[in-house]
């Protein structure tokens, strides 16, 4: 119980190394819980993914371990998230650009090799839910007709091929990026998704 109290009660006061150790210990404990109660394990993973978001998020230092624990818990429950082969992801903060426009998103999509791009809010404004991000990525993996998934209020997990197609047709100076992409998806037969964070 002391481990969980330290994980969920005081991570902000830990050094980076202590945070890393606590996040790893939390994942191990969740894996043990999963053997007896996978639903409880998923609740614990959600808390862990919020508390140590920077370490567990897509491309985070411990994301691989977090993803493995989530996949194990999902496989032991009757959930839509289980068993998906997840694509490669590039995480880019919206704050990369002073005022992001469609042209910036197109240039990014042209530069990266990953199948999926996660346009994310800066950490201080983020919804901070690593499990929700993983769920969003799973939605894309399960249905090739899904163009993007909005996670929380600002994050977007989008298929690179869709971004290339859409951004080639939308005015490059437009700044309402998520709305413009939503309109394009609707008008061109793509699906979109939302994951609450």
* 59 and 96 together in one domain: no
* The residue count for the chain: 197
How many domains, in total, are found in the chain?
A: 2
Cα(102)–Cα(121) distance, integer angstroms: 16
Is residue 57 a contact partner of residue 65, using CB atoms and an 8 Å limit? no
- Classify residue 173 by its DSSP letter: T
Angle between helical axes of 2-9 and 38-51 (0-180°, round to 10): 40
Q: What is the pLDDT of residue 1?
A: 39
Q: Which domain holds residue 22?
A: 2-75
Question: What residues are paired with 93 via a beta bridge?
Answer: 120
* 49 and 128 together in one domain: no
Burial 118-136 (b: 16+ CB within 10 A, else e): bbbbeeeebbbbbbbbbbb
* 49 and 107 together in one domain: no
Residue 61 lies in a domain: yes
**Residue at a domain's end among 36, 52, 75:** 75
Residue 177 lies in a domain: yes
Predicted TM-score (pTM) of this structure: 0.87
Query: To 10 degrees, the CA torsion angle through 50, 55, 56, 57?
Result: 90
* 45 and 94 together in one domain: no
Residue 81 lies in a domain: no
56: CB partners within 8 A, 6+ apart: 23, 48, 49, 62, 63, 66, 130
* 54 and 113 together in one domain: no
Residue 82 lies in a domain: no
* 115 and 187 together in one domain: yes
Is residue 67 a contact partner of residue 94, using CB atoms and an 8 Å limit? no
Strand order in the sheet with 191-195: 89-93, 116-120, 155-159, 146-151, 191-195
**Residue at a domain's end among 40, 75, 110:** 75
- pLDDT (tens digit, 0 to 9) for every residue of the chain, 197 residues total? 345 445 555 556 789 999 999 999 999 999 999 999 999 999 999 999 999 999 999 999 999 999 999 999 998 887 766 677 889 999 999 999 999 999 999 999 999 999 999 999 887 775 689 999 999 999 999 999 999 999 988 899 999 999 999 999 999 999 999 999 999 999 999 999 999 87
DSSP string, 44-110: HHHHHHHHTHHHHSTT-TTHHHHHHHHHHHHHTTT-TTTT--PPPEEEEEGGGSSS--HHHHHHHHH
**Residue at a domain's end among 52, 75, 98:** 75
* 182 and 101 together in one domain: yes
* 52 and 123 together in one domain: no
Which two tokens mark 139? 């939605």
């Amino acid at each position: 119980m002391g481990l969980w109290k330290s994980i969920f009660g005081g991570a902000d006061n830990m050094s980076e190394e202590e945070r890393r150790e606590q996040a790893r210990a939390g994942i191990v404990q969740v894996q043990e819980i999963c053997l007896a109660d996978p639903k409880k394990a998923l609740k614990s993973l959600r808390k862990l993914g919020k508390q140590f978001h920077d370490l567990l998020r897509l491309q985070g230092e411990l994301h691989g371990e977090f993803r493995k624990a989530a996949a194990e818990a999902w496989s032991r429950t009757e959930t839509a998230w289980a068993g998906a082969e997840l694509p490669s992801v590039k995480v880019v903060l919206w704050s990369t650009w002073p005022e992001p426009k469609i042209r910036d998103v197109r240039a990014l999509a042209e530069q990266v090799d990953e199948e999926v791009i996660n346009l994310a809010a800066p950490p201080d404004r983020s919804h901070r839910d690593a499990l929700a991000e993983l769920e969003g990525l799973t939605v894309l993996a399960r249905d090739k007709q899904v163009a993007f998934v909005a996670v929380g209020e600002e994050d977007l997990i989008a298929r690179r091929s869709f971004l290339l197609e859409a951004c080639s047709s939308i005015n490059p100076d437009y700044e309402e990026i998520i709305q413009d992409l939503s309109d394009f998806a609707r008008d061109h037969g793509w699906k979109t998704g939302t994951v609450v964070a």
